Amino acid sequence: MFSKNIELDYDIVVKNKVPILIQDKSWKKLFGDVQEKEIVKYKEQLKSLIKEEIEIERKLNQANSKKKRIMAKILNTSNEINNRNNKNSVNKLDILKEEIHNLNDEIDELTFRLEVLPREIRITNYNLLLATVKYAYKELKMDHKKLETANEKIEILRNQLRELIEEKHEHEEKISNTYSFLHGILGSKVMEQLDKQML
């Protein structure tokens, strides 16, 4: 949990058309594996709501298809009663009417749930966004401190490198001057012999 509460205007978030975070590539890459409690909670809720929405759409399609089939059976059964005076079909018609009544209730429930779900998904997505922003700023604060430390270390290393390069140049110049002096006085043959003996 974080000590500071983040406030984001819900209307502005809606106006900015924030994507469903768990379906967004960038969010998944940055925060998909984060184990922070609030993020995990809202991520799981969002997954569950989206899964429910898909399942309800599937059930609604099935229920509407079934309703069409039963309506066709009701028309056929009504024809049998009216044209052939088939008394057995009256019971069949009552059963079909009861089935349609139950199916209509189911369709109404599913339709209502399907109308309510998008708002629940938006609110959960908004809560996940808040949790993500809180977590992101906590991480950004730590990363800024680490960056500062890294920059300080780099500056120290730069200065050390500068000093070492200067030291290297001094040694190279001293070696070169010493060789030139000795070479000028002793000559190359003597220098070769001395190099073998001394170095």
pLDDT of 189 above 60: yes
Q: How far is CA 55 from the centre of its chain?
A: 23
Tokens at 73, concatenated: 């059976």
Distance CA 107, CA 105 (A): 5
pLDDT of 165 above 60: yes
Mean pLDDT of 122-146: 94
User: Would the pTM of this model clear 0.75, i.e. be above it?
Assistant: no
Q: Decide if 35 contacts 92 (C-beta within 8 A).
A: no
pLDDT of 74 above 70: yes
SS3 (DSSP) at 78: helix
Tokens at 95, concatenated: 């059963």
Mean pLDDT of 157-176: 95
Q: Which of 9-23, 68-82, 86-100, 136-150 has the lowest mean pLDDT?
A: 9-23
Residue-wise pLDDT for 34-43, tens only, equals 999 999 999 9
Distance CA 172, CA 166 (A): 10
Q: Decide if 121 contacts 19 (C-beta within 8 A).
A: no
Task: Give me the pLDDT at residue 171, please.
Answer: 94
| Sign for the pseudo-dihedral over CA of 30, 33, 39, 42 | positive
